[in-house]
């Protein structure tokens, strides 16, 4: 087939309708994710001291920063699902901007010991139910996010995969903070934050294969 014949064939098929703007897609996905997380949180039951915690500005700030981190990562993943996502190179660095303020809000008022020894001790406790819950909370919105990103034509697959995973696991973390009555910093670092980092690395590798535009 020569180029002219190919063009005729492609023209006969016609161009596809444009995808909604990434912000619209992100809000649509967020609505679904919030419903899923609300159902799961309700099923598991909120922490007993939630009413008291909601009066704590640091706790509210921590939740708000987690939500901001999760949403900005979702938006970055969706922007990266376009081939020319590199025109906004800053978008994938926005979620990183939330890390330090979030850590400050999460651990500033912490009463527990954040020493290296206590973190090592926390590792020996084997509280695998926390990462398991985060994974459970994250899996369905994560699959939805991967499918939405794959609908585009992602060229920076690793970035798109890690951003998609980061967004859903951050929401998982947020839910765990609403459910689990444990504010011990070493526990939060070892059994909440580190599994998220690990999941993001796995998401990055999964993105390389699952999101690759062929």
| Residue 98 C-beta-side C-alpha neighbours within 13 Å | 20
Nearest distance, CB of residue 202 and other proteins, angstroms: 25
Comparison of 14 and 126: residue with beta carbon closer to other proteins: 14
Nearest distance, CB of residue 175 and other proteins, angstroms: 32
Comparison of 155 and 193: residue with beta carbon closer to other proteins: 155
DSSP of 157-199: HHHHHHHHHHHHHHHHHHHHHHH-----HHHHIIIIIHHHHHH
| CA dist., res. 12 & res. 15, Å (int) | 9
Nearest distance, CB of residue 79 and other proteins, angstroms: 10
Footprint of other proteins (CB under 8 A): 1-3, 6-8, 10-19, 21, 81-84, 86-87, 152-153, 155, 213
Nearest distance, CB of residue 20 and other proteins, angstroms: 10
Comparison of 135 and 155: residue with beta carbon closer to other proteins: 155
Nearest distance, CB of residue 205 and other proteins, angstroms: 19
Burial class (CB in 10 A: 0-12, 13-18, 19+), 137: buried
Question: Rounded to 10 degrees, what is the CA torsion of 108, 109, 111, 116?
Answer: -10
Comparison of 55 and 214: residue with beta carbon closer to other proteins: 214
Q: Which of 91, 95, 212, 80 has the alpha carbon at shortest distance from 159?
A: 80
Nearest distance, CB of residue 116 and other proteins, angstroms: 44
Comparison of 63 and 91: residue with beta carbon closer to other proteins: 91
The CA-CA-CA angle for residues 80, 86, 90, to 5°, reads 85
The residue behind tokens 């994560």 is 142
| CA dist., res. 104 & res. 120, Å (int) | 21
Comparison of 87 and 124: residue with beta carbon closer to other proteins: 87
């Amino acid at each position: 087939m020569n180029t002219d014949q190919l063009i005729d064939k492609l023209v006969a098929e016609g161009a596809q309708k444009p995808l909604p703007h990434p912000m619209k897609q992100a809000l649509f996905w967020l609505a679904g994710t919030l419903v899923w997380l609300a159902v799961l949180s309700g099923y598991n039951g909120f922490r007993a001291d939630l009413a008291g915690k909601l009066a704590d500005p640091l706790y509210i700030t921590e939740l708000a920063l987690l939500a901001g981190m999760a949403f900005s990562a979702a938006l970055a993943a969706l922007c990266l699902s376009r081939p020319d996502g590199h025109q906004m190179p800053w978008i994938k660095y926005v979620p990183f901007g939330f890390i330090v303020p979030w850590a400050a809000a999460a651990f500033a008022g912490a009463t527990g010991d954040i020493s290296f020894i206590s973190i090592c001790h926390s590792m020996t406790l084997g509280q695998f139910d926390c990462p398991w819950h985060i994974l459970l909370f994250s899996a369905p919105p994560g699959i939805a996010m991967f499918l939405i990103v794959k609908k585009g034509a992602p060229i920076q697959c690793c970035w798109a995969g890690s951003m998609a995973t980061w967004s859903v696991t951050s929401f998982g973390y947020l839910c765990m903070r609403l459910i689990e009555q444990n504010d011990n910093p070493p526990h939060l670092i070892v059994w909440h934050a580190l599994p998220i980092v690990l999941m993001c690395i796995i998401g990055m590798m999964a993105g390389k294969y699952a999101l690759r535009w062929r």
